[in-house]
Amino acid sequence: KQEVTQIPAALSVPEGENLVLNCSFTDSAIYNLQWFRQDPGKGLTSLLLIQSSQREQTSGRLNASLDKSSGRSTLYIAASQPGDSATYLCASTGGGSQGNLIFGKGTKLSVKP
């Protein structure tokens, strides 16, 4: 059964710092991996989707990489801003359907002005 782990559980950084969030998964036979952002009391917003044949995806200041052989993904945030403060979740595909997601418990990021 796929398990997804995110380290650290919480992270506090000063504004402007570059940072990396980590995600690991136990089963390398995945269809894709997604990174989500969740603001308090809100739903999840998909930030980046990396399909199994891809190594990385970029959107603005965000870059996500995928290494299936080692079971790891990273989310790189450049020049962090207070507006980046949120919980970041990674999810890999689970069993039954490629639409089924197995989530990590998230990293709560706080960017201090």
Partner 1 sequence: NAGVTQTPKFQVLKTGQSMTLQCAQDMNHEYMSWYRQDPGMGLRLIHYSVGAGITDQGEVPNGYNVSRSTTEDFPLRLLSAAPSQTSVYFCASSTTGVPRTYFGPGTRLTVT
Q: Which residues bind partner 1 (CB under 8 A)?
A: 31-32, 34, 36, 42-46, 49, 89, 91, 94, 96-106
Shortest reach from residue 28's CB to partner 1, in Å: 18
Q: Give the neighbor-by-neighbor strand order of the sheet with 19-25.
A: 4-7, 19-25, 72-77, 62-67, 56-59
Shortest reach from residue 16's CB to partner 1, in Å: 29
**Which of 69, 97 has the CB closer to partner 1?**
97
Q: Which residue has the tokens 């650290």?
A: 8
**Which of 61, 105 has the CB closer to partner 1?**
105
**Which of 18, 98 has the CB closer to partner 1?**
98
Shortest reach from residue 100's CB to partner 1, in Å: 6
Question: Could you give the count of Cα atoms lying within 13 Å of 90 in the half-sphere of its Cβ?
Answer: 28
**Which of 47, 80 has the CB closer to partner 1?**
47
Contact between residue 104 and residue 49 where contact means Cβ atoms under 8 Å apart: no
- Kindly report the CA angle at 73 between 60 and 17, in degrees rounded to 5? 50
